[in-house]
Structure 1
Amino acid sequence: MTSRSPRDDDGLDQSLDTIMKERRHLINLAYRLLGSLADAEDVVQETYVRWYAMTPAQQQAIAAPGGWLTKVAGRICLDLLGSARMRRESYVGEWIPEPVPDRMEWATVRPTDTAADPADRITLDESISMAFLVVLESLTPAERVAFILHDVFRYPFGDVADIVGRTPAACRQLASSARRRIRDAQAPTRPTSRQIAVIRNFKQAWEAKDIGALIGFLDPAAVSVADTGGLVEAGARSMEGAEQIAHGLVALVSRLPDLTILERMVNGRPGLVVQQDGVTVSVLALEATDDHITHIWAMRNPEKLRPWRVGVQD
């Protein structure tokens, strides 16, 4: 696999620093493959366990440690994806990808941000949006790995084949199939500045418990999904239609006193963080058109909110 970590100047020892520099890359890769920070961190830990289980001589024989680490992490993720559907069958309620913590407020986002050229490949920032991660859940494990490695991280199909265990031509077909399904499922990307305007109006109506205004800011066919893991009360976990969602949101803030709704970036897009007594109790990723909010993904599972309570991951 393509090298990402050069050997030390003496050509012999791979320093701890050299190997650990790959951690962020591996976390980024594993998160996009699995949709879970906790699982991504477990994958990276297991990858390093396998590296340090080798003798120094075995480590020194690897010309591209970064490529070796990526290969091992990719294979672990592929195995986990294969069993993920079975594990999620026992999950209580709806399962949605784990939101990435980010302290950035909307005010720090450039107002001139515009949608990417549709002809461009998926960028790293786009590949962590909640809408994108949700679509990835519909792919087969092999399609997901081939697409993420090639289209997002730019690995050649020869390297992808080494991880997926298929020929480069087969991996090319997997990525093409995934690309087609993602293109058919995704809504066009809107300018960040426009998303901010729509979601801010929605936030203000929610704070005011103005059901009529909320309905106006929601698409008539809007969908809201809440992931609680069965650990907190969430009312209806899935809601469809502007009226039902608006009533559900107002009921939530009426039931839980002293809530604060913060404007925060969630998975690279404008989102909302709900806190009670300074503790994050819900993180909302939203998808907005030019005028209305079409999707809300509400993470309320306290286990998946731990990174939002202890600080931002790198």
Structure 2
Amino acid sequence: MTSLAELLDERQHLLDLALRMVGSDTAADHVVQETYRRWYALGEAERAAIATPLDWLARTASGVGLAFLADPTRVPAAPASHTWSVPTTHQAGYGQAMLARHDRVARLFAAACRAGDAEALREVLALDAIAVSDGGGKIRVAERPIHGADAVARFLTALLPGTEAGLRSVNGRAGLVLRRAGRAVAVVSVSVAGAEVTAVWIILNPDKLQRWH
């Protein structure tokens, strides 16, 4: 598994490469989005057969950049981002007691994340917990939900190194904001049932993180 810090470095490398080719931040961003769109257009077996994704992505970005230079009026269209949203406190019908319970569980989850403790994460996750990531086509993230406490715990402990996790209010409930060099790189919310986390919602789309910086 790849950490978020490594994925951010990968995206920055592609942006720098594209910017050197096309000379515009806006065009470079579109080149990178088109590069990731082509990555996700591959089948799972095709992606798994690529030993070094960064090399493949860099070659693809170079090709997209060259196509842009040959026809600068044709900027690749941005892929559609995920449309899921985390339920707000009002939507979930939370009373004060339920909100307090949610926040107690969320704080246990946050402490386990900050410690990078996979066992502690498994203890607070429901057996059938899921994790869903939204990269908006702008960062290479898990394409499908991750299922099961073990898989979610492994995913989170692999994702977190290189970031600072701070407990913050997200949609009126306790959540996490991950920062790197002082900038928000992810916002994490959780859904809770009883004393367990049933779902982890991770926003990684840079466009949706602007207000968190």
Q: What TM-score, normalized by structure 2, do the two folds share?
A: 0.56
1:263 aligns with 2:175: no
- Percent of matched pairs sharing the same residue: 30
Counterpart residue number, 1:231: 138
Give the Å deviation of 1:230: 1.2
**Structure richer in strand, relative to its length:** 2
Give the Å deviation of 1:225: 0.9
Aligned equivalents of 1:286, 1:269: Cα separation in 2: 9
Question: What's the secondary structure of 1:91's corresponding residue?
Answer: coil
Aligned equivalents of 1:282, 1:306: Cα separation in 2: 10
Amino acid at match of 1:223: I
Q: Which runs of 5+ in 1 are unaligned?
A: 1-89, 100-127, 133-185, 310-314
Counterpart residue number, 1:10: none
Amino acid at match of 2:179: Q
Aligned counterpart in structure 2 of residue 129 of structure 1, from 88, 100, 106 = 88
Q: Deviations over 1:118-148 (max 9, x none)?
A: xxxxxxxxxx60794xxxxxxxxxxxxxxxx
Give the Å deviation of 1:188: 6.9
Alignment of 1:42-191 (within 5 A): 91-92=80-81, 94-97=82-85, 129=88, 132=91, 191=98
Q: What TM-score, normalized by structure 1, do the two folds share?
A: 0.39
1:209 aligns with 2:116: yes
Q: Which runs of 5+ in 2 are unaligned?
A: 1-78
Question: What's the secondary structure of 1:284's corresponding residue?
Answer: strand
Question: What's the secondary structure of 2:190's corresponding residue?
Answer: strand
Aligned equivalents of 1:207, 1:250: Cα separation in 2: 9
Aligned counterpart in structure 2 of residue 192 of structure 1, from 86, 99, 115 = 99
Counterpart residue number, 1:275: 179
Aligned equivalents of 2:168, 2:134: Cα separation in 1: 19
Counterpart residue number, 1:182: none
Bigger Rg, which one: 1
Amino acid at match of 1:297: W
The structure-2 alpha-carbon separation of the partners of 1:294 and 1:131, relative to structure 1 and needing over 3 Å to count, comes to farther
Amino acid at match of 1:91: A
Question: What's the secondary structure of 2:184's corresponding residue?
Answer: strand
The structure-2 alpha-carbon separation of the partners of 1:237 and 1:278, relative to structure 1 and needing over 3 Å to count, comes to farther
Aligned equivalents of 2:149, 2:120: Cα separation in 1: 10
Structure showing greater relative contact order (alpha-carbon pairs closer than 8 Å, 6 or more residues apart): 2
Amino acid at match of 1:279: R
CA contact (8 A) 1:96 1:297 kept: no
Amino acid at match of 2:140: E
Aligned equivalents of 1:282, 1:237: Cα separation in 2: 17
Alignment root-mean-square deviation, CA: 2.4
1:303 aligns with 2:210: no
Counterpart residue number, 1:290: 194
Question: What's the secondary structure of 1:303's corresponding residue?
Answer: helix
Amino acid at match of 1:244: A
The structure-2 alpha-carbon separation of the partners of 1:300 and 1:187, relative to structure 1 and needing over 3 Å to count, comes to same
Aligned equivalents of 2:198, 2:152: Cα separation in 1: 11
Aligned equivalents of 1:91, 1:237: Cα separation in 2: 15
Question: What's the secondary structure of 1:295's corresponding residue?
Answer: strand
